[in-house]
Amino acid sequence: MTDDLFYKTMRGNFSQSPHDHEDALRVLSEKNYSFVPEIYHFDNEQYCCRKIEEAVSLKQYLEETADFDIANKVIQELTIFFLEVSKNTKDELHLIPDDIHDENLIVDKKKNIYLIDLDMFGWWPKNLVYQKLGTSISKVSHSINYSMLYYERRQLGNRVEELSKQLNEQNKAMFEAGVRHGFWNIDSISEIKEKYEVYKPSAM
């Protein structure tokens, strides 16, 4: 059972009350959003939530797969989650997640996506909801773009290596054929050296 739990000692964030995590985590725990792992215990210092098994960061996942559907899904689900969560208010401040990036989004084997690093949720003035939404979507979109470019570059690198190997093989075969044409009674380059080296004119 303990294998299924993830414990985190929280740090401050950049919201209006950096070290006041409890109210934010209470909302996440009560609303049980599917975009964050279930929270089991929390206070102002620590939280314990479901450990997502066999999950990798969005960055790693997209660098390995360039999966367009997951890229699409992450932007869609993140936008909906962000807008939903920002409806929660406290003293006219809105709850929003900060520090959203490709290492704080993880993908499991079933291709579910989760936002982690829950100490980055805090309370912000209304106008900043849209500024932070824009920044987050932009940051994640850029990272998707870079991961996909990284994937394509690796694919191209592999293809170049493969073609270069093929060329090498062809070159070898052509060279061997040429050798056999000129030296009909031998089978390999080493035989040329062995048998015909003696006929080479000596260096002046």
Ligand X SMILES: Nc1ncnc2c1ncn2[C@@H]1O[C@H](COP(=O)(O)OP(=O)(O)O)[C@@H](O)[C@H]1O
Write the interaction track for ligand X spanning residues 24-53; mark x where CB under 6 A is met and - where it is not: -------------x-----------x-xx-
CA dihedral of residues 6, 12, 16, 21 (deg, nearest 10) = 30
> Quick one: which of 67, 122, 62 has its CA closest to 89?
122
Q: Which is nearer to ligand X, 78 or 116 (CB)?
A: 116
Residue 55 or residue 71: which is nearer to ligand X going by CB? Answer: 55
Instruction: Provide the b/e sequence for 47-69 (b: ≥16 CB within 10 Å).
Output: bebeebeebebbbebbbeebbee
103 binds ligand X (CB under 6 A): yes
Yes or no: say if 85 and 124 are a contact pair by the CB < 8 Å rule: no
Question: Can residue 104 be called a binding residue for Mg ion (CB under 5 A)?
Answer: yes
Q: Determine if 117 is a binding residue for ligand X (CB under 6 A).
A: yes
Give residues in contact with Mg ion (CB under 5 A): 104, 117
Q: Which residues bind ligand X (CB under 6 A)?
A: 6, 8, 37, 49, 51-52, 55, 103-104, 116-117
